[in-house]
């Protein structure tokens, strides 16, 4: 119910506003404006259907990766921003 009610509606409104030339860069769920309803449903199930949901800041992720002896962290610069790659140190 979350995907068609919120994701699809807000993403659709965002696409409509964009067509009229309104600046909507920080509009909620704007990342999903070109996504299918199937993808929105999957994303909402992942986010709201999981029995345990933990969110971490960039600083916390860096600390975890460093503690795991990973280095040269590369965070995604585009949405979705939760993607990060680290490399195992040679030592």
* Same domain membership, residue 66 and residue 37: no
Q: Would residue 20 count as lying in a domain? A: yes
Domain range for 62 is 58-88
Q: Would residue 11 count as lying in a domain? A: yes
> What tens digit of pLDDT does each residue of 64-82 get?
999 999 989 998 887 666 7
pTM (global) more than 0.85: no
> What tens digit of pLDDT does each residue of 24-62 get?
666 666 666 667 778 777 777 777 777 877 778 889 999
* Same domain membership, residue 41 and residue 23: yes
* Same domain membership, residue 74 and residue 40: no
Question: CA 62 → CA 54, 78, 82, 86, 87, distances in Å?
Answer: 16, 18, 12, 9, 12
Q: How many domains does the chain have?
A: 2
* Same domain membership, residue 11 and residue 35: yes
Short-list 56, 90, 91, CA closest to 75: 56
> What tens digit of pLDDT does each residue of 15-33 get?
777 777 777 666 666 666 6
Q: Would residue 53 count as lying in a domain? A: no
């Amino acid at each position: 119910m979350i995907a068609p009610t919120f994701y699809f509606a807000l993403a659709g409104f965002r696409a409509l506003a964009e067509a009229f030339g309104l600046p909507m860069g920080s509009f909620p769920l704007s990342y999903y404006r070109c996504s299918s309803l199937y993808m929105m449903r999957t994303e909402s199930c992942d986010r709201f259907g999981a029995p345990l949901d933990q969110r971490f800041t960039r600083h916390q992720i860096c600390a975890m990766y460093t503690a795991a002896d990973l280095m040269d962290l590369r965070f995604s610069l585009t949405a979705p921003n939760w993607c990060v790659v680290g490399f195992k140190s040679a030592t």
